[in-house]
Each structure stands twice: as C-alpha cells, then as structure tokens.
Amino acid sequence: MTANKEKRRVISRDAARRRRQVESEVFVDLSRLLPFQQSVQDHLDKPSVIRLTLSYIRMHTLLKGKTGIKVEASHAVKCGQVMESGQEWRGCDRGRDDEEKKTDNVEASEETNMFLRILEGFLMVLSTEGDMIYLSDNVSKYMGLTQTELMGHNIFEYTHPCDHEEIRNNLRLTAEEVWCGAKRDFIMRIKGALTHRGRSSNLKSATWKVLHCQGRAKVCVAPSSVSCLLLTCQPLPLSHTLLSTHTFTSQHSMDMRFTYCDQRMTLLLGYSTEELLGRSIYDLCHILDTNCLTKNHLNLCFKSQSVSGQYRMLVRGGGYVWVESHSAVIPSVRPSKSRPGAHQPLCILCVTYVLSGVEEPSLQLSLDQAVHRYLR
Amino acid sequence: MSPWPLRAVTTHCLVGSVSLPSLMTPSSAACMSLSMEMPRKRKGSLDNQDTKSSSIPDADMEDDQNRSDGEDQNVKIKCFREPHSQIEKRRRDKMNNLIDELSAMIPTCNPMSRKLDKLTVLRMAVQHLKSLKGSASSFSEANYKPSFLPNEELKHLVLKAADGFLFVVGCDRGKIVFVSESITKILNYSRAELIGQSLFDYIHPKDMGKVKEQLSASELYPRERLIDAKTGLQVQADLPVGAERLCSGARRSFFCRMKYNKISIKVEEKEFQASTSKKKESQRYCTVHCTGYMRSWPTSHLEVDGDGEPDKQDSSYYSCLVAVGRIHSHSTPQVNGEVRVKPIEFITRFAMDGKFTFVDQRATTILGYLPQELLGTSCYEYFHQDDLPHLADRHRKVLRSKDKIETDCYKFRTKFGSFVTLQSQWFSFVNPWTKEVEYIVSTNTVISYDPSQTSRSEVKSELSSNSKTSEDDCNKSLQVILGISTTPGAMIYAGSIGTQIANELLDFNRMNSSSSSGSISPFSLPQDKCPQTHNQISNNVPNGGATDMEIPGKSSSEDEPQGAAFSGGESLMVENSQLDLDSVVGPGLSSLSNDEAAMAVIMSLLETDTNLGEAVDFEEMHWSS
C-alpha cells in the first residue's frame, strides 16, 4: 500500500518537475520575443516577463488601431493631406524602399532622443487605471530605475500617497475629453532612486522627486476601445541659468508675501522692492487668475515645487502683463551643518518670466493701481 | 566622482530617517515597520486602490529590516517562518493575476468560456507576439539596439504628448537651420516654408530683443544670472562673458510669442493664401516656451550656405541654439474660432469691509463707472436701500464661512443714476498657508438692465429730493442692520455698514482666537501614512473664519471631485467653489494642525532632493556627444 503511495508520489513529483520545466521553457520563449537585448531578456524574472509582454501588447493595440481622434482628423484635412487617421501613426510607409525606411527610422530615433534630451524628461503612457504601460528608456536617467523594472507597474506604487487623489482626477477621462485629446498638466512626486551625484541607487534608498507632467489623452477604438494619457515628465530643476532681462526673481514667505525681489521687477512692473515687502501676491494679480495662483501655492506647500500656468500681474499705476512663474520652497537660511536636523524657516523662491508687454496701460483695475496713479 | 555617496546613502537609510514621520522616505517606512506585516501591492489586487501605503517590492527588504533590527535569532526565525507561506501565497496570487490579465489581452484567449490554464495562456501569448512581430518591418533588427517601440511611433507619441517641435537656429542671424515636422501641427507652417528663413520673421516684434539676447554672445548684454538654490539669491557668474555664453551645452530657457498661420479654406492655391495675407488682419501669436542648448559646430563639417558674411566670432565655428518649442496648454491658438459666450457678468474684489479693491474691466459696460471710480469706495454706497439688509446679512455670512454665498437679486446704482438688477456669488478668498481671509470675491451676473417701472420712479424721487423722509428711512434701515441707535439727526452713511460688519468680525475673533500668529500655517500631516480622516476640523484657526460653522462638503472619491477642474485649461472661479485643500489635493488635508510637522515634511523633501545645496554645476550642462 505504502509502496503504491510512494510510487504515486514519485510520479507526481516528476510530473510536477516536467511541468515546471516546460513552463520555464515557455517563459524563455516569451522573453526572447520581447524587444530587448538578450542580456536584458536573460535577467527577467517570470512576473516581469508577463508584465512586459502585457505592455508590448497594449502599446501595439494603442498604436496600430485606428485613432479616430476628431482633432487630428480635421487638422489633417485642413493641411491638405487627407489621410486615414490610422495612417498617421504608421508614418506613411507605402511606396518607400527599405533603405529609405531605414534612414527615416534612424532619423526618427535621433530626433526623438534629441527631443527628450532637450526637454530633460521622459515619456510615460498611462492607462486609465494608472498602469505605466510604456516609459521611454531614458527614464533611468531621471528615476534611477530602468524601463524594464518599471514598465507595466502601477503608478500608484511609485508616487507619493498624498498625490494619489490628484493623479486619479487627472486619469479620469470623459468621453468628450478623450475624443478631443484633452490636455493634462499637473505636478506629482515620484520615487527616484538616484543619489546626489546622479548615480542609480536602489529603491530602498529612494527619495521623492518632483515631476511636472504635461500631455494629453489618446484613444484608439479598434479592435477594442483603449484610452490612455500620453505624458512627458520632467523633473523640476532647483536652479535656473541665464535669466534674461525679461525675467525676475522674487522671494516670499510661505504665505506668498514678498520678502525680496530683484531690480528687474522694478523695470518690468514698476514696483520698488520696498513697496512690495509684506504685500501678498494675491493683491497684485488679476482676479480671474486667483485659481491659478492658489493651485500654484498649494503645490508649493505640499510638493515643494511648482510651475504656475500663465497669469496676469498688475503693473504699477495701470495695466498688466502676462507672466509664468517657476517656484520652489527652499530654506531661507543656509542649512547649518552643525545642527542638521534643526527646523529651518522656509521661504518660496520664484523665477518669473514675463511673457507679454504691458497690456491696457491706462486701465486701473485695482485700488492699488488707482492710488499709485493719484500719487504720481 | 568620489565613492562616498553610496555609503552615505546607506547610513541615511538605516539611521537618519527613523525619527521622521513615516511619510518622508519610502525606505524609512520599511525600516519602521519592524515585524509588522507589510501588505504588498499587486496589480489587480482588490485593495490596490483603497490603501494608500507605498509598496515594498520584494522579500529582500524584509530581510534587511530583520537584520537591521538586531532582533535575536529566535524572533528572526519566527518572522521568517510565519510570513513565508504568506510570501508564497502572494507570489502565486500575483502570478495568477498577471496570467488573467494576459489572457484578457490576447484575442485568441478571449472567446474561451472557461478559464484557461497557465501554460496554455503562455503558449498563446508566444503565438500572439510572433504574429505581432511578423507585421513589423524586417529592418528593425538591424544594427542599433532594439527599442521597445518602433522609432517612428515613439517619435509621434513624444511629439503628441509634448505638443512641441524641435528647431535649430543659427546664432548670428537667427536662420532656421532645422525644424521638425511637428511644427505643422502646432504653428501650421510647413517645414519648407520655414527652413532657411529667419526666426525673427516669426517672432512678435516686442519679443525680438529678448530672443536676440538669448542667442547672442555680445559683451554688451548682461552677464549670466544664476540662482543659487541654497540662498535663493542671484549669484554673479565667475565666468567671463563671451565664449562661455556660447559654449556647448549652455542652457537656454525663455518664452516668446510666435506667429501662427491661420487655417486657410482652400489649401492648394498659393495665390489665395497670398491675397488673404494681404488683408489688414492682426497677426495671431501664441506663446511658446523654448528650452534648449547652445551648440557649436566647426563650419568645415557643415554646409552653411551663407553669403560669406563676416563672422563676429571665431570663423571656424557655427553656433546654434538647439531647442524644443512647446505650446503651453493655456495658450493654444483658437483654430476653430469658437467664441464662448458667457452670461453678462463681471467680477469684483472687496476688502473685508466692503470697499472695492479690484474691478474687472467688464464692469464699465454694465455699470458705467470706470474701475478707478469705484475703487476705494464702499459697495454699500451703490446698493439700493431696500437691499441693504439682506446684503449686509450675506456679508456677515461670507466672512464666517468657507462656502460660496449667493445673494438674492438686488439693485446696483449705475453711473447714470439708473439701477441694474444683479445677482452675485460671494466667497471669502483665504490664503492657503495662513488660512486668513485676504479678500472677498464677488461674481456678479446681470439679471436685468431695466428694473420695473415702479422702482425707477422710486429712484427718481430718491435722487431728486434730498427730503428728510427718505433719509430717515435710510437711517432706519441702517440702524436695523447695525443694531445701533442714533440720536435724531445723526447721519449714518451707507458706507459705514461695511466697516461695521468687518469690525464685528475682528472683535469676535479677538475674543476667540488663541495666541497663534498670522504667519503660522495650520498644516501638518497626520501620523499615519495617509490622511484617512475626512472630517477633522482644526481647532486653532487663526483669524479668518472663526470656528467653522458649516462643515464644507468633503468630496469622497466617488463624488465628482472639484480637483478635476484643474485638469487642463483655465477655469474661472464661477466653476469652482472656495479653493479648499480638500477639493484640490485630497480629503483630510484640512485636518492639518501642526505647522512644524509640515516644515519637517518639506525639509525632508529638500534634504533628500538631488540638487539642493549645490550651486549650478556647469559640467552637468554639457552636451555629451
């Protein structure tokens, strides 16, 4: 009796072993079909193989299906090129020989690489559930984690919990938004496994990196309806170089009251530094832009960096200019090396780009402007 | 580069972060969890969306944490043994989930009514991938490394996401040497039209100086200005201006307005286009954000088809700006020419006492006054006497509430003496950091330009006669509003109503407020990893709203969140209520109470950020070719 049992046990063990072997072989087959170098393929574990296969299939579906986005189609017609929308994505392969296609391919790759390099960011394709279906391979430069490590995972595993709500809001797409390729622009914190010097470390010593994500929705309708967000993600820099004459810097306390501004502000907007000290930025801006400023302020408070949209700053005595501010929260005194853990007062540093000339210089919209005009 | 950073980072992980709230760094979360079971996040697992703790990827982390705890051997073994079966189970679950997802994505698997076994799904996946690859062009396996996406596709994706175009312009004349195809979609010019042209032909006249400055190397221009991230102040570059400005890799970033070609109806005929452009139409511009690098190439390597112009700089080098131009999402040219018609409205700002501090220019067409005529005066001077009580009541309410307060219809006196009927929404705008009321925002909608006949006659009689009776009536209603008594003959002006109401609030606050100063922020993060509490109200609210009498509607994740309003495009305040932390960023954040903890959060973000504490490193800017 026990001999039979033993025999059955051995048989089942062997069967199990064979099954596992067969399974492993299939996994190897699958990994070989993935578009990575062999060295990379060999090091993928089983879940990763499936994860990356899923990404590959999803991207393929997204790109090869008919797009049918209204904006694209109508624009194509207007530019005198009546093309089937799906064709746009295939780069018009017809009637070209291999050699031409090869050159085009190389050019395309160079152009894209250059583009991403200049932009100092990477591309992310996000499904509506938050899966990072695709990441461009330069993601490792910014996050310290490679394309193969990250693709297919869910973004909520890598971003700051307090930003999840906002990310979810951005992923929510109505049918209308999807069809019109609605735009997205938001800031989120993501885990970055880079050291101070820019070397890759690992997830255990990850730090939060502030990313500015901009992009739009994309949909493909056939064979199945898939919608996603295409985003470029750029880490926000903490230092700026070569500010032109049309840019000024200012420093604020955490409630956005001015504590300092440079002389360019005086040249561009007319206010002297003394006049501005203690004034709130909310007093100085057009009322229709309060939303924009508040969002910027909140981003600063929670994420420590922000890019405002375009808003209007009132000019002394009348009129306004369009500006855009890039800001960050920094310690307002030099961090002390002797007491590294001590709390330091914080302040906000803004670099503001002036985008337009003074519009409507004789129009006084705020009490402040009216007073200044009177005092002149 | 020295090797010390690696070591420093490790020690930071083990020692430095234990005292900070667990939200700081992901690693500290692991270190602090000790023998607690950390739920691992799996794709497709049911609790993925709800729990917001960050995931701990693999078993190694648990090993580390056990080792670093310095627990004795027995406990260590116990920790291993218990979770080990759990680990295995999780692995299996994860694999099963992945297989399920895979089968959903493969067309051949889908129609199967019963669930397929793992091996079959995998085999079908192999078949499917083979079929997909079959349709790709054969040359893609050539020389360079395989990329996940075909290059053309990637290029399209990037350009679509970025809404941008690549361009290269020469520094001396601004000649457009190269521009990518995507410019057609953005500015509606073809490549052929642009290449060889001067960039300055396409830039707004007022921005030409700015762009010249960015391209130039002349010594007359200001030196490079850098911002030192540590101090936040400008630092004069130690480098001499000149060659360094144009040195390869120097970064440029600026905004400029560029022309865009309006969509013409008939595309083929060039003559038609030419004639339309001769019309006296104001040129349309859109704001483009240009970022890039300076680059110089030896002219011997380039075919610079110039007319032998004398070079200012070294004749063997051709300097260019290689940049990306992006349209900001807020300034997309309106190609369809659609005009959004809004109901007739204008927006004003009041100080807490009701004095106008900002008047939107649309008010002039409605009220007849120029903004400066209204600024500094009290809104009560223009309200019809009958409306004073209810408006005063609303005024009181808005100063004490976070919500939008609607007024009833009321009459507002115009410059010409007549009245228009308005209806307004008021809310107190509160500084996000201090939570103090900065001002009241009023969105005013015109209900009717022509109030009924009877009221017009009332108006006439009011204005024409300064009779005692009307003044008495006015005074009486003021007394009612203000709750004061006056001796007969004393004049109370409407303007004082506002001041009185504001003072009421200040007195009330003085009596109730704690000793917090205005600059402290009632922020902090709760001790657990993510704010789960939705309805906590902070106790030490400084001046602005006293105690919250009305709990603002909290948005749960199922409701329509107002945060969605920020996803793209500008939205006027009419579409949003008071911008609250809850509505913008997430639930539970208004429960913040301790600003020190908030500062700790931000400090840790900054401490661990890569760039902090280092001035600009020029080496990083170089373009490695």
Average pLDDT over residues A83-104: 52
pLDDT of residue A307: 92
Structure-block tokens of residue B136: 């790709």
Q: How high is the pLDDT of residue A157?
A: 92
pLDDT for residue A80: 34
The pTM of this model reads: 0.69
Question: Is B266:B272 a contact under the CB 8 Å cutoff?
Answer: yes
The answer to whether residues B253 and B282 touch, using CB atoms and an 8 Å cutoff, is: no
Q: Which of B42, B38, B78, B43 is nearest to B62 (CA)?
A: B38
d(C-alpha A195, C-alpha A94), whole Å = 47
Contact A239 B128 (CB under 8 A): no
Closest CA–CA distance from residue B455 to any residue of chain A (Å): 31
What CA–CA distance (Å, rounded) separates A351 from B211? 18
Please name every residue paired with B442 in a beta bridge, in sequence order, or none if there are none.
B348, B426
Mutate to test the interface with B, among A28, A78, A254 (most CBs of B within 10 A): A254
In degrees, rounded to 5, the angle at the alpha carbon of residue A328 between the alpha carbons of residues A325 and A329 is 140
Place of tokens 């499936």: A50
Give A190 to chain B, closest Cα distance, Å.
10
- Determine the distance in angstroms separating the CA of A8 from the nearest CA of chain B, rounded to an integer: 23
Does A68 score more than 50 pLDDT? no
By the 8 A CB rule, do B142 and B300 touch?
no
Residue A272, phi then psi, degrees to nearest 5: -90, 160
For residue B49, what pLDDT is reported? 39
Measured CA to CA in angstroms, residue A340 lies from A336, A344, B7, B13, B14 at distances of 6, 9, 18, 16, 17
Distance from CA of A343 to the nearest CA of B (A): 7
Q: Across the A/B interface, how many CB contacts are shorter than 8 Å?
A: 489
The owner of tokens 């907007």 is A269
Chain A, residues 219-248, CB within 8 A of chain B, namely 223, 230-232, 237-247
Q: Quick check: A94 contacting B, CB < 8 Å?
A: no
CA–CA separation, B415 and B369 (whole Å): 6
Which among B144, B162, B227 has CB closest to A119? B162
Beta carbons of B103 and B95 less than 8 angstroms apart: no
Q: For position B104, what pLDDT does the model report?
A: 84
pLDDT at position B568 is: 33
**Entry field: residues in chain B:** 625
Contact A280 B231 (CB under 8 A): no
Quote the pLDDT of residue B481.
60
* Chain B residue with Cα closest to A52: B148
Amino acid in the structure at residue B364: T
Helical ranges in chain A per DSSP H:
2-33, 38-42, 46-64, 70-78, 85-88, 98-119, 139-143, 147-150, 164-171, 175-179, 263-269, 273-276, 290-303, 367-375
What residues contact B300, with CB distance under 8 A and at least 6 apart? Answer: B316
The Cα A308–Cα B410 span in angstroms is 37
For tokens 């941008």, the residue is B164
Of residues A250 and B216, more confidence is placed in A250
Burial letters B100-139, b for 16+ CB under 10 A, else e: bbbbebbeebeeeeeebebeebbebbbebbeeeeeeeeee
List chain A residues with CB under 8 Å of B267.
Answer: 78-80
Nearest by CB: B98 against A50, A57, A165: A50
Mean pLDDT (chain A) is 81
DSSP string, B467-487: -HHHHHHHHHHHHHHHT----
CB contact under 8 A, B329 and A47: no
What's the pLDDT score for residue B358?
92
Mark yes or no for CB contact B227/A370 under 8 Å. Answer: no
**CB burial string A240-273: b at 16+ within 10 A, e below:** bbbbbebbbbbbbbbbbbbbbbbebbbebbbbee
Determine contact, residues B347/B444, Cβ cutoff 8 Å. Answer: yes
Across the interface, of B10, B146, B531, the residue whose CB is closest to A205 is: B10
What whole-number distance in Å separates Cα of residue A57 and Cα of residue A55?
Answer: 5
Report the gap between the CA of B405 and the closest CA in chain A (Å).
Answer: 18
pLDDT-derived band of residue A241, with 50, 70 and 90 as boundaries? low
DSSP letter string, B292-354: EEEEEEEGGGS------PPPSS-TTEEEEEEEEEEE-GGG---TT-------SEEEEEE-TTS
Which of A205, A219, A284, A306 is best to mutate for the B interface (most B CBs within 10 A)? A205
Specify the pLDDT at position A198.
Answer: 65
B332-370 residue pLDDT tens: 433 333 455 566 889 999 998 889 999 988 898 889 898
Q: Is A13 exposed, middle or buried (0-12, 13-18, 19+ CB in 10 A)?
A: exposed
Chain B nearest-CA residue for A24: B119
What residues form DSSP beta bridges with B138? none
Give CA–CA dist B386/B456, Å, rounded: 13
Q: What stretches in chain B show pLDDT beneath 70?
A: 1-82, 110-113, 134-146, 217-249, 263-282, 299-316, 329-343, 451-493, 513-625
- Please tell me the distance from the alpha carbon of residue A69 to that of residue A86, in angstroms, as a whole number: 10
d(CA A326, CA A328): 7
Query: What are the start-end ranges of the H helices in B435-467?
Result: 453-464
Tokens of B87: 């680990």
Q: Which chain A residues are within 8 Å of B586, Cβ to Cβ? A: 162, 164-166
Using an 8 Å CB-CB cutoff, list chain B residues near A322: 287
Residues from chain B contacting residue A240 (CB–CB below 8 Å): 226-227, 253
Query: What is the Cα–Cα distance from B590 to B601, expressed in whole angstroms?
Result: 16
CB B96 within 8 A of CB B103: no
* Cross-chain CB nearest to A33 (options B55, B126, B356): B126
| pLDDT, tens only, A320-334 | 999 999 999 987 766
CA distance A290 to A312: 10
- Find the CB nearest A79 among B257, B267, B557: B267
Q: Which of B289, B578, B349 is nearest to A314 (CA)?
A: B349
Residues facing residue B547 across a β-bridge:
none
Decide if B152 and A183 are in contact by the 8 Å CB cutoff.
no
Q: Which range has the worst mean pLDDT, A95-109, A187-201, B452-466? A: B452-466
- Residue A349 forms contact with B (CB below 8 Å): yes
Q: What is the mean pLDDT of residues A139-156?
A: 90
| pLDDT recorded at residue B78 | 53
Return the DSSP state at B200: G
- Cis before residue B310, ω within 30 degrees of 0? no
pLDDT at B82: 63
Mutate to test the interface with A, among B378, B606, B616, B625 (most CBs of A within 10 A): B606
Residue A227 or B223, more confident: A227
Long-range contacts of A73-79 (CB under 8 A, 24+ apart): A75/B185, A75/B335, A78/B263, A78/B267, A79/B184, A79/B188, A79/B267
Would you call B568 and A343 a contact, using CB atoms and an 8 Å cutoff?
no
Q: How far is B552 from chain A (nearest CA, A)?
A: 18
Joined tokens for residue B477: 């209603």
Which residue, A341, A207, A190, A155, is CA-closest to B27? A207
| Chain A interface disruption, residue of B51, B155, B213, B424, most A CBs within 10 A | B155
Please give the structure tokens belonging to residue B102. Answer: 């895979």
Q: Does residue A31 belong to the interface with chain B, where contact is any CB pair within 8 Å? A: no
User: A216 and chain B: CB distance < 8 Å anywhere?
Assistant: yes
Crossing angle for the helix pair B26-33 and B59-69, to the nearest 10 degrees: 60
Does the ipTM surpass 0.90? no
Q: Taking a C-beta distance cutoff of 8 angstroms, is the pair A307, A236 a contact?
A: yes
